[in-house]
Structure formats: C-alpha cells, structure tokens
Chain A
Amino acid sequence: MADAITLTYNVTKDDFTRAGEASADVKQKLKQMGVSPEAVRKVSIAMYEGEINMVIHAYGGKITVTISPDKIRMVLADSGPGIEDIEKAMQPGYSTAPEEIRNLGFGAGMGLPNMKKYTDSMHIETKIGVGTTITMEVNL
C-alpha cells in the first residue's frame, strides 16, 4: 500500500513509569490524522495493554504500527519468555503476574482478553524461551 505509514517503538523491560508512552504517542498521531474516535480508542487500549505486558512479562521488545487507509495493524514482538498456555491466558481473570505487578494495578488477567475485545483480529505466535509476537488489527 503506497500511502501506509509505519511507526516503530522500542519498549524497555521493567520501565514501568514509561510504559504506555508508545501507545500515547500513537493515540495522539491517529487523532491528528483524523481517525475516528472509536478506532482511536480501540487501538489505544489494545496497544496499551500489549505494551504493559511487554514491560511486566517480557524482556521488552518492539512495536510496529502500520496505518493504512483501511486498517491499523499493530505488531508487538518481544524476546521471551513466551506464553505457556494461550487458551488459559485468554480467559478473563487468569493471570500469572506476580504480587508486585498486581500492586501496580495490573495483572487482573484482563490484558489479552482486552486486546482481543478491542481489535477486529488478533493473532498470537509464541515460543517458550524465545518470545511472543502478537499481531492485532483494527479496521477503519
């Protein structure tokens, strides 16, 4: 697609204060582009949950957002530890987050379910010890 715009962000492990910066940036850019508020909201929430996951569960990673005329695609790639049981991880309320993460207001077991709920398609590729890549799309 000729007029697709690509944005990339590096997400740092354990940098909880800065978690969400990439999502906030995308949100602002989409707003400026005049994307519908509903789509902006869906992308913001799904990407923010994914970004938080990368900070608390994974060892950081990279987010690539591609904005095309018909859809917004987010690819969140991290370098481990991988998701052991995707089916369980998709259940609302299921969480493997340690107590300290719960104390920070996350780890309610809503991350992946939220990402699915707010996107039109979601695909998870994961390998234990290697990493997880989540691809999500929101149609415009």
Chain B
Amino acid sequence: MTIKDAMNVLGARCVVGEENLDQEVRSACGSDMMSDVLAYSKDHSILLTGLCNPQVVRTAEMLDIVCLIFVRGKKPDETILKMAGERGLVVLETGHRMFSACGMLYEAGLNGGKI
C-alpha cells in the first residue's frame, strides 16, 4: 500500500510531507521506546508512536523509516515537524490509540517486518 492508503485506513491527518504520500510501504512498527525500535526494527517503513520529541525523528532517520504516525491524538511540536520536513519524512496524526491503529493497518495488509 502507499502512505496515502495507510492514512485513509486510519482517517489520519497529514501534517508534513504531503508530496511524499505516494511512497510504497510494506511494514510498520509501533513503540514509545526508541531503543526498542532501534533494537528490533529491520526494514520498517512506518513508525507508530505516542512519543513526541525530536529523537523520534532521529530514530526514523537512522533506520530509513519514511513515515511517522503519531497516535492517541499526540501533536508533535514545530521543532519535530521542521526536522521531519527537512528529512523528507511524512508525518501523520491520528486520534486512534496504539493498539487500534496498529490493528487497523495490519488488517489492511501491512506486516510487522522480519524478525
């Protein structure tokens, strides 16, 4: 699916990177602990998180993640959005909680990636 498809599945709002919504995505991971993302993420294109700080963008940068989805209605601040924009990331916001958001995307065809 594309990021746009994922956005539609969640009814999410795109706050950064509208021009990159057509990118293909295959797998996702969800966590509020960035160290765990770094430990277990291999080939993910999407990171779902409720954590709102610049290190979310850095983590995505290190792992070549292309889309950040902030769950539970979290609103990333200007610093985060600016950093994400500079790196060509897509940032989405959804009011869904982590479990539901992950479940909806999984059902729509995204997988959890290699172990």
Contacts and interface: CB of A to CB of B under 8 A. Distances in A.
27 contacts: A16-B55, A20-B58, A20-B62, A24-B58, A24-B61, A24-B62, A27-B62, A41-B64, A48-B59, A48-B62, A49-B38, A52-B55, A92-B39, A105-B35, A105-B49, A105-B51, A105-B53, A105-B59, A108-B33, A108-B35, A110-B33, A110-B35, A110-B38, A110-B39, A114-B35, A114-B38, A114-B39
Contacts of B62: 20, 23-24, 27, 41, 44-45, 48
B32 to A, nearest CB: 6
B8 interface: no
Instruction: Select the residue from A19, A48, A111 with max chain B CB neighbours within 10 A.
Output: A48
Interface string A2-24: 00000000000000110110011
Instruction: Select the residue from B34, B35, B79 with max chain A CB neighbours within 10 A.
Output: B35
A45 B55 contact: no
A108 B36 CA distance: 7
Contacts of B32: 105
A58 B61 CA distance: 24
A94 to B, nearest CB: 12
B64 to A, nearest CB: 8
Contacts, number: 68
Interface string A92-111: 10000000000011111111
A26 B64 CA distance: 14
A20 B55 contact: yes
A81 interface: no
B63 interface: yes
A16 B62 CA distance: 16
A105 B56 contact: yes
Contacts of B58: 19-20, 23-24, 48
Contacts of B63: 41, 44-45
B54 interface: yes
Nearest to A115: B38
A113 interface: yes
A48 B64 CA distance: 14
Given A19-B55, A104-B55, A110 B61 contact: no
Nearest to A37: B64
Given A20-B58, A27-B61, A45-B62, A106 B35 contact: yes
B27 to A, nearest CB: 15
A19 B59 CA distance: 11
